[in-house]
Structure 1
């Protein structure tokens, strides 16, 4: 069995995820094999700035017709290559009722109480969304219209909105099956029909589901079925049914994990990550489910992954060495607050300052100020 240590694994993932900046075209980045999450403002553009070579520009994924934004993995918004969206949609059809219920995540109990199976609820909502969304519509308008035509158990009284509306997770999971995407760069959240959307598919595609796990292992491996399940948003037992047939078993500091065989040479001898990067909240590098490996200190984990309002991560020579946040100052200036976990040299701080310039540029700020906590 191949034995590797934590540093090798991190270096391998950093290379696999394009953080060495060897690609100039965003579409060539391997992170789009899974999709690039865009949960908070401009996180996707900042993630690209950390990966794409050349001078950063304000041109974003919003302006690139090769990409489309949709609620996909775990119901979170992701940018995908437009031509890959049919395959992504197929991969998101639950394998069975157990899988469908697991994907309901934080609203699982509400779905269980609805008097309808999770599978039926998912596709009932998808059909309603397809019927309602025949043009761009705000999320609120879609929710109001869909709630009127779905079974009562799939909606609830929301104190925040002071209205009855469809369960949030059901809506997010169903939208892609209803042939609906998100309008990128538009606020409030707006849904629109996917161009050329075909008939809704309800039959599971095991091969498509397995492709998600393969891509997870390629970008976040070596990994375990439990970790892949965490990314998919399902049970470990379901992830085992999605598990690829040909994998290499690896020991990571004594822990058993798996990797596609073609990635073994890169894991054995990964390029040294001798650089600094500013990773946005929910950056692909931070999406690995083995957080103890990414950030061994449990107290530091709580600083990187918060319940609400994650900061960005300061990546220094392969290690998460701190966090960072921004605040617009004076309209044209972006203020950065860097919070390192340990003392960093003047040279490292200078590199972080250069990365902050890239972030400010892609966010359209001509000026910036960097402060260190």
Structure 2
């Protein structure tokens, strides 16, 4: 069995993520399609795209997402908002739907509401699916408003004895803003997203808006028997060599669901040894994996939540576990300074008026401070700001 090194894997993944060079506008869709771009916190996908296709500006992004709607945003893997090409809806939505006894992604916490209401998960999801078509032709501004709007549509369908419970204050926090019904709906929005029933619309100021898939694209989500295969293919191309348990971690799904999805593309894989484990790589990627290519860009300043930083085998990016804790925190991850595919430092940017103050910390002497500062200036310009200050801490 072929043995692969961390250096080979980093080089391969940089290429798969379109981070080995500065790509042009013709490559925008391919860069986003690779594995989607998480948009939490808001703006994360724009920063990720900037690091791959610097020439794609705000007007280009708005045209693709809001006018042409070649791109779209919906709750996807791990229940997070993700921007992806509409043509890839099967991989980023349909493939995530649970089957049989598999739990749905991002719904674990709903048990408190279900027990309080005395209803089953499938029963409540069926009621929500029954009212979701009312979103066709409508736009709802704000997540809380969406939860409560859908909860109000469900209420008449509930037995009368349960309606008062439905309207009790939420037990999940913000009881002044959310009811038990609204909280239950909030958990069920991910399954509805995977079924193509709800997507993000254009932002209204600081608020996201929501509508139906049919309203946004003018057509329903079409079933695709190859959805699972397409999803696993994307995962392995960007994060391979890998294993089903790492697919489960990336998707936020159960091990059972990950193994089922994995089998859908098993005929496209072959084994290699990596980090002491038997892993799988796409057969189509094997040659590129084993033959690293020179990098046109060796130093990168990636924003927090960039898809490249979403690797589940974090030792590939930084083998020192003490340093890993500085890169991936429980809350408020910093950005990452990446050199030849390895995370060698962190950075943060704070807006001050019309400027951006950047603080950076790195632990590799091969990194030139002038280059880090230049990248910080480019990031500030991408955000429409000047670099108000730069400090190595």
Measure the CA separation in 2 of the matches of 1:127 and 1:364: 44
After superposition, the C-alpha distances for 1:329-351 in whole angstroms (9 at most, x for unaligned) are 1x2101111122x1535x62222
Measure the CA separation in 1 of the matches of 2:218 and 2:253: 26
Structure 1 residue aligned with 2:11 = 11
Segments of structure 1 that go 5 or more residues without pairing to the other structure are none
User: For residues 1-373 of structure 1, what are the structure 2 equivalents within 5 Å?
Assistant: 1-25=1-25, 26-52=27-53, 54=55, 57-59=57-59, 61-64=61-64, 65=68, 66-85=70-89, 88-100=92-104, 103-104=105-106, 106-107=108-109, 109-110=111-112, 113=115, 116-132=119-135, 134-138=137-141, 139-148=143-152, 149=154, 156-162=170-176, 163-164=178-179, 165-167=182-184, 168-177=186-195, 179-186=197-204, 187-194=206-213, 195-196=216-217, 198=219, 207-243=226-262, 244-246=265-267, 247-273=269-295, 275-329=298-352, 331-340=353-362, 342-345=363-366, 348-373=368-393
Segments of structure 2 that go 5 or more residues without pairing to the other structure are none
Measure the CA separation in 1 of the matches of 2:373 and 2:243: 36
SS in structure 2 opposite 1:70?
strand
Aligned pair count reads: 365
Question: Whose radius of gyration is greater, 1 or 2?
Answer: 2
After superposition, the C-alpha distances for 1:7-47 in whole angstroms (9 at most, x for unaligned) are 21111101111002252125343442431111013211211
Alpha-carbon offset, residue 359 of structure 1: 1.3
SS in structure 2 opposite 1:289?
coil
Measure the CA separation in 2 of the matches of 1:110 and 1:61: 40
Which has the larger displacement, 45-54 or 227-236?
45-54
SS in structure 1 opposite 2:93?
helix
Tell me the TM-score normalised to structure 2 length. 0.83
Measure the CA separation in 2 of the matches of 1:133 and 1:228: 33
Q: Does the Cα contact within 8 Å between 1:336 and 1:371 map onto a contact in 2?
A: yes
Alpha-carbon offset, residue 354 of structure 1: 1.9
Measure the CA separation in 2 of the matches of 1:275 and 1:39: 26
After superposition, the C-alpha distances for 1:292-324 in whole angstroms (9 at most, x for unaligned) are 332222222222222221111111122101111
Q: Do the aligned partners of residues 350 and 173 (structure 1) sit closer, same or farther apart at CA in structure 2, a change above 3 Å counting?
A: farther
Alpha-carbon offset, residue 222 of structure 1: 0.3
SS in structure 2 opposite 1:223?
coil
Tell me the TM-score normalised to structure 1 length. 0.87
Q: Do the aligned partners of residues 348 and 191 (structure 1) sit closer, same or farther apart at CA in structure 2, a change above 3 Å counting?
A: same
Measure the CA separation in 2 of the matches of 1:117 and 1:296: 44
Alpha-carbon offset, residue 116 of structure 1: 4.9
Q: Do the aligned partners of residues 130 and 295 (structure 1) sit closer, same or farther apart at CA in structure 2, a change above 3 Å counting?
A: farther
